[in-house]
Amino acid sequence: MLLAYHFTNQHSPFILQSQKSIEVCYTPAQYELYRGGYDVIVVIDVLRATSAMTTALHYGVEKIIPVASVSEAEAYKAKGFTVGAERDGQVVEGFDFGNSPYVYIDQDMRGKTIVLTTTNGTKAIDIAKNDGQVVIGCLNNLDYLCDWLIKQHKNTLILASGWKDKVNLEDTICAGAIVDQLLDSKKFIASEDSTVAAKFLFKSAQNNLWSFLRASSHRRRLIHLKIQKDVKYCLTLNTVPCIPILRDGALVKLHE
């Protein structure tokens, strides 16, 4: 508790009754430790799922139905839906597209409903979908999302998608950037070490974000697939003023 107060409220010795929690869960594998008690769950998968979803809705896709498995995606495809599927960074054979944000920039997908399954991002959405209001975060919508979260002022969990249940650098840094803004507002408090560590990592990285993120293991994986353009896009801050929100099983653009 002492750490929490010191960490969050350096100018006041009191934790305000009205402060809400902001915490970070590093991977879907740790989610059971956090389940319950959060009103808002921010799912992030910077490379590339949540960056692609945010871009899709910003560029006019009407709805994204996220599904956890390739077999669910196949069932939608059989019904005539436009379906994207990615595993290990690559488009799954037989599907229309994978996980590149440029799909939605380069093609006109306005007004469409699409179905999407990805290695980690849609799995994270799936495990959290019944536990609170799920919204989507990434570096592309960072400030816009933080402003909205501060306005909501609710107990908030950031669920990083990681890589196959392991921690990853880009999601942790993005989580730390969100924590930093929410704590700065003085309306939130953090007490878990995962949250403190994410913020410290972001603080160490913030003036040299690109070099830090160059060390990310998933960036190296994606570079082998020759999609540097996607990586650069996903690691760029505040380019997309859009918050995807999960409503009735589909992600739609939040209209304030």
The residue ranges that bind ligand 3SL (CB under 6 A) are 45, 47-49, 86, 89, 99, 118-121, 161, 222
Based on CB atoms, which residue is closest to ligand 3SL, 100 or 181?
100
Based on CB atoms, which residue is closest to ligand 3SL, 145 or 234?
234
Distance, CA of 98 to chain centre: 17
Based on CB atoms, which residue is closest to ligand 3SL, 170 or 192?
170
Minimum Å distance from CB 122 to ligand 3SL?
6
Minimum Å distance from CB 222 to ligand 3SL?
6
Q: Phi and psi dihedrals of 250, rounded to 5?
A: -130, 145
Written as six digits, the tokens of 66 are 């996220």
Contacts of 102 (CB under 8 A, 6+ apart): 229, 230, 233
Beta bridge partners of 117: 85
Based on CB atoms, which residue is closest to ligand 3SL, 82 or 185?
82
Written as six digits, the tokens of 39 are 């009103």
Written as six digits, the tokens of 201 are 């990592």
Question: What distance in Å separates the CA atoms of residue 202 and residue 218, rounded to the nearest whole number?
Answer: 18
Based on CB atoms, which residue is closest to ligand 3SL, 66 or 132?
66
Minimum Å distance from CB 86 to ligand 3SL?
4
Written as six digits, the tokens of 59 are 């560029």
Question: Which amino acid is located at 98 in the chain?
Answer: G
Q: How many residues does the chain have?
A: 256
Based on CB atoms, which residue is closest to ligand 3SL, 49 or 198?
49
Minimum Å distance from CB 251 to ligand 3SL?
14
Minimum Å distance from CB 44 to ligand 3SL?
10
Give Cα separations from 6 to 3, 10, 190, 191 (angstroms). 5, 5, 10, 10
Minimum Å distance from CB 3 to ligand 3SL?
32
